Amino acid sequence: MRFLQRKEFWNSIGFKVFVLYFVSMSLTVALMGFLFFTKSTFVIQSNAGSIALQTIEQAEKRLKTIMDEYDNRSQVILGYRDLQQGIIGNFSDYYDRVKNSSTIANFVTNMVNSKNDTVTMNIIGMYDTSYRYSNITSSGFTVLPKADPSLLKQAWCRQIIEADGKVVRFGIGYSFMPIDSPDYENTPVYVFGRALKDLQGQGEIIGVLLYEINPAEIQNILSEIDFSTSGNTFIMNRSGEIIAQDPGTILPGELSSLSMPNAPHGTLNARIQGKEKLIVYREMEGTDWLLVGMVPMKNLVKGAQQIKTYTLYLALAFVVVAVVLSVVVGRYVHSPVYTLMRYMKKAREGDFEARIPRKRKDEFGILFDSFNVMVFRIKQLIDELYIQRLLKKETQLKMLASQINAHFIYNTLDSIHWISRMYKIDAISTMIFGLSRYLRLSLSDGREYVTVEEAAELVESYLSIQKARYEDKFAVDVVLDPAIKHNTVLKFLFQPLVENAIYHGIENLTGKGELQISWTKRDGDLLFTVTDNGVGIPEDQLEQIRSTLEQADIRDNFALRNINAQIKLSYGGNYGLTLESELGKGTRVSMIIPLKG
């Protein structure tokens, strides 16, 4: 861990790799843990919801069987002819009425005793007689007068009449027609009813059946539903009214405002009394009732909580591993970088003998080798530069001596020139004067750059010698733009092009040649052209010359290639030579270089 104590480490690539590696691993572990826990919780909740829904479906089937049996009882009562006669009346005498009542009493008593779950059966006649059977009173079966008009106006009674013979289920509640009895008060009953129709007539409604049954069987089914958790099961309608529930539980009032989906069955999450609940529901066939199971979410996800704890501990363990690995990786990266920095510091201080030991075979090993080669090469270059400086001193001395010798040559050539003029040998005089002038301009005090005007004078001195040699072989037309004569250019770029035009173009020409030389300004650059009317260049040879201008180590066309290379090295790759030629008509060589002040 000593590398962590170095001051430079905290700003180094090693520390950055350490942070990056640690953060990336920690985020990855945290993200994976979160996704794993979320998915596990979702799967557990889904499975629990599916199991609860299956449980609800089974309970709904049991409840439907019970309610269908209740409906069948009412159907039997509805079709009993003696009961219909008793409700309508039309008896021939009192004896016939008593006999009918006795028959009905026996029928109702037998039906009630067959199941032993009836609390009260109210058969409300609208024309002549009503009947009641109660398991609570000692009298049992009772004959009553026809219904009071106020009773038929009550909401539950109107609802049954409007159903027109269909069963109307009111659920578990208190009796709509309570009997004055201590055992009857506060006794919940399952209540349903249906309208009684005249089966012998036009099917008009002649009475109302209100059946009240002990709800124990329904309540037992609700209490027996097991979600393996502390949940509640109840029946409610879509308006939020509780129809039936386990008598041992108290349901929260918030359920009345619970918005249930329109689907016939499903699950939803709801927050009730500040706690998350899983609601499982199924619509009871033939009704607008929903059999609902409500389970605390925390009880369903106990397994998920254990997974959460396990995931947390596992994530912490991975974070510790990430820290250890980050330190190892950081050190692995920082150590070679620090070594390279140390040796680079030695080289910066002038120690070019320093060499990094080659112990690695990875990218850092390549960097170490490259550093060693670089330092070795720098040492070589320093040594070469030192030698070059010594040679330059020596060259300067030689140039000084050559300049002294050049003055001697100037004087000698000048003497020969004047002697030639004295003896009137004009050809020798012209050539000697031109050579003397050419040498003086060529040396130009050792300057590499001269003005355009001086370069033109150098070319003209060369031409004066060649014209004396070739006599009237060719004519020369020289054009110099005065606007550029004071700009500086490389000294020896122009004369070789003129020389090529004479030797390769005009010398082999039959007849008199013409040579046009111009220095002009074009788009801020200097355009130098040499045009001859010589023999020209064949097309294949011209293409070969053009291709060789850009190549190195080519012996052919050495002068042109050398000039082109000097231009590109001195002025850039956008400048150079251009050749145009037509066999038998002549050649044009153009040079473009930048104008410098």
Domain ranges of the chain: 53-297, 352-403, 404-446, 448-594
Question: Kind of pairing, strands 576-582 and 205-213?
Answer: unpaired
What mean pLDDT do residues 244-258 have? 76
What mean pLDDT do residues 99-125 have? 87
Question: What is the reported pLDDT for 398?
Answer: 47
Question: What is the reported pLDDT for 195?
Answer: 92
Q: How far apart are CA 463 and CA 438, in angstroms?
A: 10
**Which architecture, in CATH terms, is 448-594?**
2-Layer Sandwich (3.30)
Rg of the chain, C-alpha, whole Å: 60
| Residue linked to tokens 């099917």 | 203
**pLDDT level of residue 350 (50, 70, 90 thresholds):** confident
CB-CB contact of 147 with 125 (8 Å): yes
Q: Which residue did the predictor score with more confidence, 559 or 518?
A: 518
Q: Is the pLDDT of residue 14 over 50?
A: yes
Q: How many residues are listed for the chain in this entry? A: 597
Question: Kind of pairing, strands 513-522 and 474-480?
Answer: parallel
Q: How far apart are CA 168 and CA 488, in angstroms?
A: 117
What mean pLDDT do residues 20-40 have? 73
Q: Is the pLDDT of residue 424 over 70?
A: no
| Residue linked to tokens 């002819």 | 81
For the ranges 153-157, 195-199, 260-264, the lowest mean pLDDT is seen at 260-264
The encoded tokens of residue 74 equal 């009412």
What mean pLDDT do residues 88-104 have? 85
Q: Is the pLDDT of residue 88 over 90?
A: no
Q: Tell if the pTM clears 0.85, that is, is over it.
A: no
Q: Which residues, 6 or more positions from 236, have their beta carbon under 8 angstroms from its beta carbon?
A: 242, 243, 255, 289, 290, 292
Q: What's the distance, CA 96 to chain centroid?
A: 92
**pLDDT level of residue 280 (50, 70, 90 thresholds):** confident
**pLDDT level of residue 408 (50, 70, 90 thresholds):** very low
For the ranges 107-116, 259-268, 411-420, 458-467, the lowest mean pLDDT is seen at 411-420
Question: What is the reported pLDDT for 397?
Answer: 46
What mean pLDDT do residues 416-444 have? 63
Average pLDDT over the chain, rounded to whole?
78
> Highest-confidence range of 138-147, 157-166, 422-431, 565-574, by mean pLDDT?
157-166
Question: What is the reported pLDDT for 511?
Answer: 85
**pLDDT level of residue 395 (50, 70, 90 thresholds):** very low
What mean pLDDT do residues 476-493 have? 89
Kindly give the interhelix angle for 13-78 and 94-115, rounded to the nearest 10 degrees. Answer: 150
Q: Which of 87, 85, 71, 258 is nearest to 167 (CA)?
A: 71
**pLDDT level of residue 419 (50, 70, 90 thresholds):** low
Q: Is the pLDDT of residue 331 over 90?
A: no
Buried b (16+ CB within 10 A) or exposed e, 76-98: ebbebeebbbbbbeebeeeeebe
**pLDDT level of residue 418 (50, 70, 90 thresholds):** low
Question: What is the reported pLDDT for 457?
Answer: 86
Question: What is the reported pLDDT for 276?
Answer: 79
Which top CATH class is 53-297?
Answer: alpha beta
DSSP character for 471? T
Q: How far apart are CA 104 and CA 196, in angstroms?
A: 15
Q: Is the pLDDT of residue 516 over 90?
A: yes
Q: Which residue did the predictor score with more confidence, 17 or 452?
A: 452
Question: What is the reported pLDDT for 1?
Answer: 47
Question: What is the reported pLDDT for 272?
Answer: 81
* Percent of the chain clearing pLDDT 90 (strictly above): 13
What mean pLDDT do residues 51-67 have? 81
What mean pLDDT do residues 75-87 have? 87
Q: Do the domains 448-594 and 53-297 match in fold?
A: no
The encoded tokens of residue 76 equal 């039997």
Alpha helices in 79-209 (DSSP H): 81-88, 94-115, 149-152, 155-162
DSSP character for 423? T
Q: Which residue did the predictor score with more confidence, 13 or 88?
A: 88
Question: What is the reported pLDDT for 476?
Answer: 92
Q: How far apart are CA 353 and CA 376, in angstroms?
A: 8
Question: What is the reported pLDDT for 436?
Answer: 63
